[in-house]
Amino acid sequence: MPERQAEQPETAPKTLFEQQWNQEAERFIDDHKLSKNSRSAYANDISQCRNYMMEHGVTDWPDITPQLMEDFTKDQEIWCSPHTAYRRLAVLDGFFTWIMVETNYKLSKRTEETTKSLRKEGGYLRLKLVPDTVSKEDYSTLIKKTNLRDTALILLLGNGLSPQTLRKLRVGYVTSGELFRAVSLDNKTSTALSDYLQVEREEDLDNPASPLFKRHNRLGDPVGKEALTRGGIWYILNRISAKADIKCTPGRLNKSAKSLHGPLN
Protein backbone atom coordinates (compact mmCIF):
# COMPACT_ATOMS: atom_id res chain seq x y z
CA MET A 1 0.00 0.00 0.00
CA PRO A 2 1.47 3.38 -0.95
CA GLU A 3 1.88 6.29 1.41
CA ARG A 4 -1.25 8.24 2.13
CA GLN A 5 -1.47 11.53 0.31
CA ALA A 6 -3.95 14.39 0.43
CA GLU A 7 -1.89 16.87 -1.57
CA GLN A 8 -3.55 16.32 -4.96
CA PRO A 9 -6.53 18.52 -5.96
CA GLU A 10 -9.66 17.06 -4.45
CA THR A 11 -12.67 16.09 -6.49
CA ALA A 12 -16.02 17.79 -5.91
CA PRO A 13 -17.84 16.56 -2.77
CA LYS A 14 -20.41 13.89 -3.46
CA THR A 15 -22.42 14.09 -0.25
CA LEU A 16 -23.93 16.79 1.94
CA PHE A 17 -21.70 15.65 4.80
CA GLU A 18 -18.57 16.17 2.67
CA GLN A 19 -19.79 19.61 1.64
CA GLN A 20 -20.39 20.56 5.26
CA TRP A 21 -17.01 19.18 6.36
CA ASN A 22 -15.09 21.01 3.63
CA GLN A 23 -16.94 24.26 4.22
CA GLU A 24 -16.31 24.24 7.96
CA ALA A 25 -12.70 23.19 7.47
CA GLU A 26 -12.17 26.22 5.25
CA ARG A 27 -13.89 28.53 7.73
CA PHE A 28 -11.85 27.04 10.60
CA ILE A 29 -8.57 27.55 8.73
CA ASP A 30 -9.53 31.08 7.62
CA ASP A 31 -10.35 31.99 11.21
CA HIS A 32 -6.81 31.08 12.30
CA LYS A 33 -5.15 33.45 9.78
CA LEU A 34 -2.43 30.93 9.01
CA SER A 35 0.56 31.18 6.69
CA LYS A 36 0.35 29.45 3.32
CA ASN A 37 2.34 26.42 4.48
CA SER A 38 0.35 26.10 7.71
CA ARG A 39 -2.93 26.35 5.81
CA SER A 40 -1.82 23.48 3.62
CA ALA A 41 -0.80 21.39 6.64
CA TYR A 42 -4.09 22.06 8.46
CA ALA A 43 -6.10 21.23 5.33
CA ASN A 44 -4.19 17.98 4.89
CA ASP A 45 -4.67 16.98 8.55
CA ILE A 46 -8.41 17.62 8.44
CA SER A 47 -8.90 15.93 5.07
CA GLN A 48 -7.02 12.82 6.23
CA CYS A 49 -9.57 12.43 9.02
CA ARG A 50 -12.48 13.11 6.66
CA ASN A 51 -11.23 10.48 4.20
CA TYR A 52 -10.86 7.94 6.99
CA MET A 53 -14.38 8.60 8.21
CA MET A 54 -15.82 8.29 4.71
CA GLU A 55 -13.96 5.00 4.21
CA HIS A 56 -15.63 3.71 7.38
CA GLY A 57 -19.18 4.54 6.43
CA VAL A 58 -19.63 7.94 8.10
CA THR A 59 -22.37 9.94 6.36
CA ASP A 60 -23.25 12.47 9.06
CA TRP A 61 -21.67 14.13 12.09
CA PRO A 62 -23.31 11.87 14.73
CA ASP A 63 -21.68 8.89 12.99
CA ILE A 64 -18.23 10.08 14.16
CA THR A 65 -17.85 8.04 17.34
CA PRO A 66 -15.16 8.01 20.04
CA GLN A 67 -14.16 4.52 18.86
CA LEU A 68 -13.66 5.75 15.30
CA MET A 69 -11.40 8.53 16.56
CA GLU A 70 -9.37 6.02 18.57
CA ASP A 71 -9.08 3.80 15.48
CA PHE A 72 -8.07 6.79 13.36
CA THR A 73 -5.35 7.68 15.88
CA LYS A 74 -3.94 4.15 15.75
CA ASP A 75 -4.03 4.31 11.96
CA GLN A 76 -2.03 7.55 12.00
CA GLU A 77 0.61 5.99 14.23
CA ILE A 78 1.33 3.57 11.36
CA TRP A 79 1.44 6.18 8.62
CA CYS A 80 2.98 9.18 10.40
CA SER A 81 5.82 10.19 12.66
CA PRO A 82 4.88 10.78 16.33
CA HIS A 83 5.26 14.52 15.75
CA THR A 84 2.90 14.54 12.75
CA ALA A 85 0.33 12.30 14.45
CA TYR A 86 0.34 14.54 17.52
CA ARG A 87 -0.01 17.72 15.44
CA ARG A 88 -2.84 16.14 13.47
CA LEU A 89 -4.73 15.38 16.70
CA ALA A 90 -4.16 18.95 17.89
CA VAL A 91 -5.63 20.32 14.65
CA LEU A 92 -8.62 17.96 14.85
CA ASP A 93 -9.15 18.88 18.49
CA GLY A 94 -9.50 22.51 17.43
CA PHE A 95 -11.63 21.63 14.42
CA PHE A 96 -14.12 19.56 16.43
CA THR A 97 -14.34 22.30 19.05
CA TRP A 98 -15.13 24.68 16.18
CA ILE A 99 -17.91 22.36 15.00
CA MET A 100 -19.39 22.21 18.52
CA VAL A 101 -19.24 25.98 19.09
CA GLU A 102 -19.74 27.54 15.66
CA THR A 103 -22.27 25.19 14.03
CA ASN A 104 -25.47 23.33 14.78
CA TYR A 105 -24.13 20.02 13.45
CA LYS A 106 -24.74 17.19 15.89
CA LEU A 107 -21.20 16.07 16.58
CA SER A 108 -21.15 13.98 19.75
CA LYS A 109 -19.71 15.73 22.79
CA ARG A 110 -18.14 12.41 23.73
CA THR A 111 -16.25 12.38 20.42
CA GLU A 112 -14.88 15.88 21.05
CA GLU A 113 -13.82 14.88 24.58
CA THR A 114 -12.18 11.70 23.28
CA THR A 115 -10.17 13.70 20.76
CA LYS A 116 -8.96 16.03 23.52
CA SER A 117 -8.03 13.04 25.68
CA LEU A 118 -6.14 11.34 22.85
CA ARG A 119 -4.27 14.57 22.19
CA LYS A 120 -3.19 14.86 25.84
CA GLU A 121 -2.05 11.23 25.91
CA GLY A 122 -0.15 11.72 22.67
CA GLY A 123 1.56 14.84 23.97
CA TYR A 124 2.64 13.05 27.15
CA LEU A 125 4.03 10.08 25.25
CA ARG A 126 5.79 12.31 22.72
CA LEU A 127 7.53 14.24 25.48
CA LYS A 128 8.50 11.10 27.40
CA LEU A 129 9.62 9.00 24.45
CA VAL A 130 13.39 8.78 24.06
CA PRO A 131 14.17 6.45 21.16
CA ASP A 132 16.92 3.92 21.83
CA THR A 133 19.58 3.20 19.25
CA VAL A 134 19.53 0.53 16.57
CA SER A 135 22.09 -2.24 16.96
CA LYS A 136 24.58 -2.92 14.18
CA GLU A 137 23.01 -6.35 13.72
CA ASP A 138 19.51 -4.90 13.23
CA TYR A 139 20.93 -2.21 10.96
CA SER A 140 22.48 -4.85 8.73
CA THR A 141 19.27 -6.88 8.74
CA LEU A 142 17.22 -3.85 7.62
CA ILE A 143 19.56 -3.20 4.72
CA LYS A 144 19.31 -6.82 3.53
CA LYS A 145 15.53 -6.46 3.20
CA THR A 146 15.69 -3.57 0.71
CA ASN A 147 16.11 -2.64 -2.94
CA LEU A 148 18.80 -0.20 -4.15
CA ARG A 149 16.76 2.94 -3.48
CA ASP A 150 15.66 1.93 0.00
CA THR A 151 19.15 0.69 0.90
CA ALA A 152 20.56 4.13 0.12
CA LEU A 153 17.68 5.72 2.03
CA ILE A 154 18.23 3.66 5.18
CA LEU A 155 22.01 4.11 5.09
CA LEU A 156 21.61 7.89 4.87
CA LEU A 157 19.19 7.85 7.80
CA GLY A 158 21.76 5.78 9.68
CA ASN A 159 24.35 8.44 8.91
CA GLY A 160 22.22 11.05 10.67
CA LEU A 161 20.35 12.68 7.77
CA SER A 162 16.74 13.46 8.68
CA PRO A 163 13.68 12.68 6.49
CA GLN A 164 13.28 16.42 5.92
CA THR A 165 16.83 16.64 4.58
CA LEU A 166 16.42 13.55 2.41
CA ARG A 167 13.24 14.98 0.93
CA LYS A 168 15.15 18.06 -0.27
CA LEU A 169 18.19 16.26 -1.71
CA ARG A 170 18.70 16.52 -5.47
CA VAL A 171 20.71 14.30 -7.81
CA GLY A 172 23.16 17.10 -8.60
CA TYR A 173 23.99 17.57 -4.92
CA VAL A 174 25.32 14.01 -4.88
CA THR A 175 26.96 13.80 -8.32
CA SER A 176 28.78 17.10 -7.79
CA GLY A 177 30.26 15.82 -4.53
CA GLU A 178 28.64 18.57 -2.42
CA LEU A 179 26.87 16.04 -0.21
CA PHE A 180 30.13 14.28 0.60
CA ARG A 181 31.83 17.57 1.44
CA ALA A 182 28.95 18.56 3.72
CA VAL A 183 28.45 15.22 5.49
CA SER A 184 30.95 12.50 6.37
CA LEU A 185 29.46 9.31 4.94
CA ASP A 186 30.91 5.84 5.43
CA ASN A 187 32.13 3.88 2.40
CA LYS A 188 29.11 1.57 2.43
CA THR A 189 26.72 4.50 2.11
CA SER A 190 28.78 6.16 -0.61
CA THR A 191 28.84 2.91 -2.61
CA ALA A 192 25.09 2.37 -2.13
CA LEU A 193 24.35 5.88 -3.39
CA SER A 194 26.55 5.35 -6.43
CA ASP A 195 24.91 1.99 -7.21
CA TYR A 196 21.44 3.45 -6.85
CA LEU A 197 22.17 6.37 -9.17
CA GLN A 198 23.99 4.31 -11.78
CA VAL A 199 21.41 1.52 -11.94
CA GLU A 200 18.02 3.07 -11.11
CA ARG A 201 18.53 6.75 -11.90
CA GLU A 202 20.84 6.69 -14.89
CA GLU A 203 18.40 8.76 -16.96
CA ASP A 204 18.53 11.54 -14.33
CA LEU A 205 22.30 11.82 -14.00
CA ASP A 206 22.23 14.75 -16.42
CA ASN A 207 19.31 16.34 -14.58
CA PRO A 208 20.81 17.77 -11.36
CA ALA A 209 17.49 19.30 -10.23
CA SER A 210 15.74 15.92 -10.09
CA PRO A 211 14.87 14.70 -6.56
CA LEU A 212 17.36 12.14 -5.28
CA PHE A 213 14.49 10.01 -4.00
CA LYS A 214 11.26 9.90 -5.98
CA ARG A 215 7.82 8.78 -4.90
CA HIS A 216 6.82 5.37 -6.24
CA ASN A 217 3.37 3.94 -6.85
CA ARG A 218 2.25 0.56 -5.54
CA LEU A 219 3.86 -1.13 -8.56
CA GLY A 220 7.23 0.37 -7.71
CA ASP A 221 7.30 2.87 -10.57
CA PRO A 222 8.25 6.56 -10.02
CA VAL A 223 5.34 9.02 -9.74
CA GLY A 224 6.32 11.72 -12.22
CA LYS A 225 9.00 14.05 -10.87
CA GLU A 226 7.69 14.19 -7.30
CA ALA A 227 10.13 13.88 -4.41
CA LEU A 228 9.53 11.21 -1.79
CA THR A 229 7.76 12.86 1.16
CA ARG A 230 8.64 12.58 4.83
CA GLY A 231 5.51 10.48 5.27
CA GLY A 232 6.69 8.25 2.44
CA ILE A 233 10.04 7.74 4.15
CA TRP A 234 8.25 6.76 7.36
CA TYR A 235 6.04 4.35 5.43
CA ILE A 236 8.99 2.70 3.66
CA LEU A 237 10.94 2.20 6.88
CA ASN A 238 7.83 0.95 8.67
CA ARG A 239 7.22 -1.63 5.92
CA ILE A 240 10.84 -2.82 5.91
CA SER A 241 10.99 -2.92 9.73
CA ALA A 242 7.83 -5.02 9.89
CA LYS A 243 9.27 -7.42 7.31
CA ALA A 244 12.46 -7.75 9.35
CA ASP A 245 10.53 -7.89 12.67
CA ILE A 246 12.52 -4.93 13.99
CA LYS A 247 11.09 -1.84 15.65
CA CYS A 248 12.67 1.10 13.90
CA THR A 249 11.86 4.68 12.91
CA PRO A 250 13.82 7.41 11.10
CA GLY A 251 14.38 9.01 14.51
CA ARG A 252 15.95 5.84 15.87
CA LEU A 253 18.27 5.58 12.89
CA ASN A 254 19.27 9.24 13.24
CA LYS A 255 19.96 8.74 16.96
CA SER A 256 22.04 5.65 16.13
CA ALA A 257 24.53 7.45 13.85
CA LYS A 258 27.28 7.73 16.45
CA SER A 259 26.91 4.19 17.78
CA LEU A 260 26.87 2.80 14.23
CA HIS A 261 29.78 4.84 12.87
CA GLY A 262 31.72 6.10 15.86
CA PRO A 263 33.19 9.62 15.46
CA LEU A 264 32.51 9.60 11.70
CA ASN A 265 29.38 11.74 12.07
The domain limits of the chain are: 16-128, 136-264
Phi and psi torsions of 64, nearest 5°: -80, 105
pLDDT value at residue 178: 93
Return the bridge partners of 25, or none.
none
pLDDT value at residue 198: 95
The predicted-structure confidence for 207-232, as pLDDT tens digits, reads as follows 999 999 998 777 667 777 789 988 88
Instruction: Round to whole Å and give the CA distance between 133 and 12.
Output: 46
pLDDT value at residue 32: 83
**Cβ partners under 8 Å of residue 8, min gap 6:** none
**Cβ partners under 8 Å of residue 81, min gap 6:** 163, 230, 231, 234, 249, 250, 251
What is the three-class DSSP state of 226?
strand
pLDDT per residue of the chain (265 residues) written in tens, 0 to 9: 334 444 344 445 578 999 999 999 999 999 887 888 888 989 999 999 999 999 999 999 999 999 999 999 888 877 777 778 888 888 999 999 999 999 999 999 999 898 888 887 755 444 444 457 899 999 999 999 889 999 999 999 999 999 989 999 999 999 999 999 999 899 999 999 999 999 999 999 999 999 999 987 776 677 777 899 888 898 899 889 989 999 888 888 998 998 888 754 4
Instruction: Round to whole Å and give the CA distance between 170 and 181.
Output: 15
The predicted-structure confidence for 159-183, as pLDDT tens digits, reads as follows 999 998 999 999 999 999 999 999 9
pLDDT value at residue 220: 67
pLDDT value at residue 122: 59
pLDDT value at residue 131: 55
